[in-house]
Structure 1
Amino acid sequence: MKTITGLFDDYNDASSAVSALEAAGIPSTDISIVSNNADDGHVSNQSGTATGAESGAGLGAVVGGAGGLLTGLGIMAIPGVGPVVAAGWLAATAVGAVAGAVAGGAAGGLIGALTDSGVSEEDAHLYAEGIRRGGSLVTARVDDAFATEAEAILKGLNWVDPVERRAAYNEQGWTEFDDTLDPYAPDQIDQERKRYRSPANL
């Protein structure tokens, strides 16, 4: 098995990637999504939705989705990132690794879950920072023979090139994800997305 990972600036692209992976035959149990929810956009129309924000780790109630994995989105809080919606094995692994942990645990759990699945620590920090800045992370565990096709699916749906994004972050003085920093506010996330959006999509 190999872990294929894609960071997306836009939740809709990440959602499309999940659906495309499912359509290609990857079981929902082998796909995961973690998406920044600083603007409450994923739950604004939900009533009575519980969250795991109080503990800083636990997944909350189902918040809905189109089908498959996306029907199981829950809410959690990650120190340094803030509220996210998440579903799948990566989210469950991250939360399970830090059940009852103090602040900082969920972030460590996310990075730890990524590295334990074969993602380099350098990339794990980049992905956590990408989520902090408003992004969405999709991961899939696939057979080695299907890895190239799964990666092509993610690339074809506007994934963020990790080498280019790391270089852009480094130019701003960034070195690694720091869970002691304040989460990005919605207006900061909007500016961040505009920074990387292609002129054709403005």
Structure 2
Amino acid sequence: MQTVTGLFDDYADARAAVTEMEQAGVPSENISIIANNVGGWHAGESHAVEGAGTGAAVGAVTGGTLGLLAGLGLMAIPGIGPVVAAGWLAATLAGAAAGAVSIGTVGGIIGGLIDAGVYEEDAHFYAEGIRRGGTLVIARLLDEPMAYRVQAILGRASVDPAERRANYEQTGWERFDDAGRPWTDGEIDAERHRLRPRP
């Protein structure tokens, strides 16, 4: 099984990529999406009841016949804060936080990503990207042709990981810290402005 990921600055682009992946034949249960929701931006899209604490129940996060995005639920991730999420990774994170399952020796979102087949260094980058206001789309694929197709879909609007990682490192960032303080809405807006291409 291959894992393909894309980090998006624009949530709408991530949603469009998920829809295109499903239309291309990727089963909803093989896709996950996790989007920062510190500002409550996506609360109206959630179809699950928000829980009170970290890793609260996400609801129908496994997609189904209506597609992955019909199962969006609200939860909190240590170091990131509130997110909307759907899919197998969201269910794993919610279950682990509730003590239902173990997701590796690292734990938290980093452990979940590593268990999903993401290299540890990349897992830290993706978690930090969500912390800074981004949206992660991740798919598990059985065959190589579909993996290439999904990479092309995600690559059209996702950030360049090497370029973005270098940008983070210029600010002194080294690794995601799940004990760190989640970013505020204002900090995320400032980061988006900082990263916006200059004319």
**Partner of 1:161 in structure 2?**
160
1:46 and 1:86 mapped to 2: Cα distance? 9
Equivalent position amino acid for 2:191 in 1: E
Query: How large is the Cα RMSD of the aligned pairs?
Result: 2.4
Note the alpha carbon deviations across 1:119-177, whole angstroms, 9 max, x for none.
10000010000000000000011122321111010001x10111111111111110000
Q: 1:14 to 1:46 in 2, by over 3 A?
A: closer
**Partner of 2:113 in structure 1?**
114
1:19 and 1:11 mapped to 2: Cα distance? 12
**Partner of 1:33 in structure 2?**
33
* TM-score, normalising length: structure 2: 0.87
For residues 1-202 of structure 1, what are the structure 2 equivalents within 5 Å?
Answer: 1-44=1-44, 50-52=49-51, 54-61=52-59, 67-100=66-99, 108-142=107-141, 143-156=143-156, 158-199=157-198
2:30 and 2:123 mapped to 1: Cα distance? 18
Equivalent position amino acid for 2:42 in 1: H
* TM-score, normalising length: structure 1: 0.86
**Post-superposition shift, 1:79?**
1.4
Note the alpha carbon deviations across 1:91-130, whole angstroms, 9 max, x for none.
11222233248xxxxx933211211121100000100000
2:43 alignment partner, SS class: coil
Structure 2: runs of 5+ lacking an equivalent: 101-105
**Post-superposition shift, 1:61?**
4.6
**Post-superposition shift, 1:191?**
1.2
**Post-superposition shift, 1:51?**
1.5
Q: 1:44 to 1:150 in 2, by over 3 A?
A: closer
Q: Could you tell me the percent identity over the aligned residues?
A: 56
Q: 1:178 to 1:76 in 2, by over 3 A?
A: same
Equivalent position amino acid for 2:85 in 1: A
1:70 and 1:40 mapped to 2: Cα distance? 17
Structure 1: runs of 5+ lacking an equivalent: 102-106
1:74 and 1:127 mapped to 2: Cα distance? 20
User: Is the 2:39–2:185 Cα contact (8 Å) retained in structure 1?
Assistant: yes
2:89 alignment partner, SS class: helix
User: Is the 2:5–2:138 Cα contact (8 Å) retained in structure 1?
Assistant: yes
Note the alpha carbon deviations across 1:4-53, whole angstroms, 9 max, x for none.
00000111011011011101100000000000001111115879x6313x
Q: 1:89 to 1:162 in 2, by over 3 A?
A: same
Q: 1:50 to 1:176 in 2, by over 3 A?
A: same
User: Is the 2:46–2:84 Cα contact (8 Å) retained in structure 1?
Assistant: no
1:162 and 1:40 mapped to 2: Cα distance? 26
2:164 and 2:57 mapped to 1: Cα distance? 29
